[in-house]
Chains A and B, each alone.
Chain A
């Protein structure tokens, strides 16, 4: 290929595409150039100077993270000059760095520690007192900053500026006094803030959830999928002593591009974990063992007794089984087949919609490349946060974004925001459709339509809560057609938020449209639902990985494994099926969803009062 560039790094011949940075070129032949500020997903800044290398014919040392390859370049990363450069930087970085390693969260996975060891442990010659800055400064409810440990690599601030674009934290002051922070009195408010903790190359930004909870070498890593919403971001669960301590990103280039939102990162954990950190009101109330109501009070029971009681109750009268759309594909299969067959007289169905009225077509990653975008009340920033980051890739490349609706987390990136209340959505969408068709419309819609002129792939998102409205769907269709949206290159749809809505629709299609509570059931078994159904005066069976509602109607309680404690599959909003792998250790009576549903189906086969 003509745009390959050949050069030499440490005597090795390298051939890489034009424009490749030296750090990346070196990696292709197994040469690791030490870096701090460089991160492949952020724009290079050349701030830390750790990656200094010698390039023949250049008078000064150059930073490998900012220098693109050049034909015939001769680069040396380990010569005396280069090593002197790297060691100088290291010594100066350590000059004011506290000697916190033994008590630092980053200890054991810290590039600063590693690079110092590698370079032979430069000892600081600083006879002067080290500079004092704030330690353990809470930036938000979830993040704490140690300003002495910060090496000012600007990864965190670059992330906020470049990826979500909200610049929620910035460098303050200047020179040696520089610190990371916010406006005095404000907190670090961004739905993506947790990514900065992962990006921070030292122990400066730490998560309050994880702080001091473990050392890296004591952790077991389990790959899974975020259960926060239907985007399906890939995660790594860090487990210690059977407890899931933190959720980290595990890059999937087609789904999350390496980022997580804070809802996923901090709020998707089972309560056993989050409650311990959520302050007194979040007291750990996760139910751990089966219970049945005896003489008016809930009392511990064996799994077999509880499930038998549940089955009996379900057969005792007008009953329903309400399923969460967070259940795995496997559980949905059991529900649609064995469970359906076992309880022929019971209404079974999902508590929330699992079939989108305006189904998603097209892949998430298409969003990065679209040239024109319309959002009709979806507001992904707040509802499906990682989708918003994909959309930003398109808008920062120049794609116009037109938003119609009351809320718009992407307001900074919107070309036009037709701000209307929920009740104005249909009219505004119709106006936009009309304007795109060249018909007279409101001035706002006409201006927005003008901005959408052009060609190339496009995306139209519709807010699922409003997608039941046929006129709105018709407008969305018209807009998608006007923009020439195709599933191959673009994206259209009203994505449902629930974790496994799409998997549920695929694996239990016959349960998908049941209005499960329509028949006024007296006995309702809620399986995995965020808010278990309690019919006043009726009887409730609660299968949950959370807390038990404090109500006399609850007759049976069955603890359910959280998706992170479950092995199975889920299908995300654009239809990709991904595996979950159980992490941590559950008490024996905390069952995975498909096991529990199977047990319930089996129990139904046993005649009331009898034994299996």
Chain B
């Protein structure tokens, strides 16, 4: 997206794309069912070569893909990873969303400002480094604070020595090679003791934890991998596969918890292409489970996609990853290539007459692409604005063809269900209505943040935080826990004995959603937290519908004023009434999500808002409570 217009386009040397880049773009165009799908990947290829996307380059890409120049600019200005202005050779982006912000992200910004001698938003005079803070979570919350340097994650920049090492390497023009870079060969250590719900449970999905390197095809097969695919292809009909998934009550792990088997059964049995699209956009703050699944258990996902495709009659499947997941994308591409070479994908899978191609497709920085219809628009090379329903994707999805969209975690359950049966699956966990393994992303102020796989409903908030998370950092008290990233209402400290399944969290007044638990300690300023969370939604609102586009920006303005010490008493009720003008009136759930940090924090911590307004507080850059 563009910032202030500082480029002197008139006196700038115009850029022509190299022949290599042009042919790479032509290869993209040839790759997909429709050329326009190649628009986003092509813009990224061009940006990789040029460093940013000046208008003449956007025009060249548009011509190669066969869209209007304006259409290419539409995407260029929408996605935050596409740049209409040049930046430093190393582009540093520090995550300041909740939880990173209060876990040291804001502090890291200041430290880097000092270390690099530039203000946030600026580039060093030699053009070497530019420094930005983002409100987008990057799926590394368990390794907060973190930043991205170009495509590379630099995680757990906690200690002064980490910061110094980072600065030194940036100044030297190098992507840091310190611990916590993209190959993050570490995991919550020491591994938590097997207590509580985990005592008698062996993870099914994240079965190689704490490993962070990718499981190879050979390893995966040695552990029984791809047997479920064999079984499905050789001894089951597509309907039988759908039925076992339906019988297992596998509920979607992307947030809405809709029965996966049911969704597959809605796909009409019409001739012509049908698509499986796996949602790996994972941009909800506090969520990093799909990342670990893709980086480590890549083949489990490939196998799950193959089985699901067989069930719905799909021969061309898409895996849509958020643009920041470069590492996961590379590993998934490698796994797909490996599987294809072994005859597990491609023409005639395992010697049957079932064909399947899998496209690994990366976005470019937009939370809304996690919403399934916006994701489809993004895949079609269009501005990713959610579609109004009906029609539903099962009837008219990608390219207006029948399409199933499922989350990564949903899909990795499939091979296990097919292999072991519905009854086996329903017996995992105490609640057969919501059964199966569930990955809880635990972040924020706990001693051992990370992904923890447990049977759904086998544990409570408190147990998870204590047993797996190793308790709250610094022995502090908990103010509340956000159970579904920042999108669902905060669960206050007195409700932490609620069971972690869909029904249990709902009874506690919130939603399990993607099960991304962010633990907020008692010393975090809730007004600041609410402001930061609403800023996220303001930044990520696609702008399609009025209540969200206008209303969320308005909420943020008021919150910013309160946070800056300029609040008025009537602001609190105004925020609530404004939230009501948004919620339930918007096109997609993002607008509803945006109101929950406001409504729930006011409901539970009104006194803190009042104190922020009446306490004569001034602007501060400290996350701790100030009044």
Interface residues of A (CB under 8 A from B): 44-50, 52, 60-61, 63, 66, 68, 85, 88-89, 91-93, 95-96, 125-126, 128, 131, 151-152, 154, 166-178, 181-186, 412
Residues of B within 8 A of A (CB): 1-2, 9, 55, 58-59, 62, 66-74, 77-78, 84, 366, 383, 385, 388, 390, 538-547, 549-554, 557-558, 561, 574, 580-582, 584-587
Secondary structure of the A side of the interface?
loop
What CA separation (Å) do A50 and B545 show in the bound complex? 10
Distance in Å: Cβ of A409 to nearest Cβ of chain B? 13
Interface contact A131-B584, CB-CB below 8 Å: no
Q: Who on chain A is nearest to B59 by CB?
A: A183
Q: Which residue of B lies closest to A166 (CB)?
A: B68
Q: B551: which A residues are within 8 A, CB to CB? A: 92, 95
Flag if A92 contacts B546 (CB, 8 Å).
yes
Whether B383 lies near A170 (C-beta < 8 A) is yes
In-complex Cβ contact of B70 among A66, A92, A169 (8 A): A169
Distance of A178 from chain B, by nearest CB (Å): 4
Task: State how many angstroms separate the Cβ of A244 from the closest Cβ of chain B.
Answer: 32
Q: Are B546 and A175 in contact (CB under 8 A)?
A: no
CB-based closest 3 A-B pairs: A46-B388, A88-B581, A178-B543
Closest Cβ–Cβ distance, residue A42 to chain B (whole Å): 13
User: Which of A45, A68, A96, A167 has the most C-beta atoms of chain B within 10 angstroms of its own C-beta?
Assistant: A167
Bound together, the chains give a CA A96 to CA B544 distance in angstroms of 15
Q: State whether B388 touches A45 (Cβ < 8 A).
A: yes
A49 and B545 in contact, given A128-B561, A173-B1, A183-B70 (Cβ under 8 angstroms): yes
Partner of A173, one of B2, B67, B553, B558: B2
6 A-B pairs with CB atoms under 8 Å apart are A49-B547, A63-B388, A128-B558, A152-B544, A173-B77, A412-B66
Q: In the complex, what residue of chain B is closest to A172 when comparing beta carbons? A: B77
B383's closest neighbor in chain A, by CB? A171
How many angstroms between the C-alpha atoms of A176 and B551 in the bound complex?
9
A184, B550: Cβ atoms under 8 Å? no
Interchain CB contact under 8 A, B550 and A96? yes
Are B545 and A175 closer than 8 Å at their CB atoms? no
Q: Return A35 CB to nearest CB of chain B, in Å.
A: 12
Of A44, A95, A167, A173, which contacts B68 at CB under 8 A?
A167
Nearest-CB distance from B53 to chain A (Å)? 10
Q: For B549, list chain A residues within 8 Å (CB).
A: 152, 175-176, 178
Nearest Cβ in chain A — how far from B537, in angstroms? 9
Which among A50, A63, A91, A171 is the interface contact of B543 at CB below 8 angstroms? A171
Contact at A182–B69, with CB atoms within 8 Å? yes
* CB-based contact B546/A49 at 8 Å: yes
The residue among A52, A93, A172, A185 with the most chain B CB atoms within 10 A of its own CB is: A172
* Residue picked from A93, A95, A152, A182, most chain B C-beta under 10 Å: A95
- Asked if B78 and A176 make an inter-chain contact with CB atoms under 8 angstroms apart, the answer reads no
CB distance from A15 to the nearest CB of B (A): 21
B388 touches A95 (CB 8 A): no
Quick one: given A49-B586, A66-B388, A173-B1, are A93 and B539 in contact (CB under 8 Å)?
Answer: no
Contact across chains for A181 and B70 when beta carbons are under 8 A apart: yes
Q: How far is the CB of A188 from chain B (nearest CB, A)?
A: 8
CB-CB under 8 A from B78, the residues of chain A are: 172-174
Q: Most chain-A CB neighbours within 10 Å: which of B68, B390, B582?
A: B68
15 additional A-B pairs beyond A46-B388, A47-B587, A169-B70, beta carbons within 8 Å, are A44-B388, A49-B545, A88-B580, A89-B546, A92-B582, A131-B553, A154-B544, A167-B67, A170-B71, A173-B2, A174-B1, A175-B552, A176-B543, A176-B549, A177-B543
Distance (whole angstroms) from the CB of B66 to the closest CB of chain A: 8
For B73, the chain A residues whose CB sits under 8 A away are 170, 172, 181-184
Q: Are A185 and B553 in contact (CB under 8 A)?
A: no
B585 near A176 with CB under 8 A, answer: no
Give complex CA distance A95, B545 in Å: 14
Residue with the greatest number of chain A CB neighbours at <10 A, chosen from B72, B544, B582: B544
Query: Complex Cα distance A171/B72, Å?
Result: 11
Can you name the residue of chain B whose Cβ is closest to the Cβ of A44? B388
Residues of B contacting A126 with CB < 8 Å? Answer: 554
Q: How far is the CA of A63 from the CA of B587 in the complex (A)?
A: 9
Q: Are B581 and A170 in contact (CB under 8 A)?
A: no
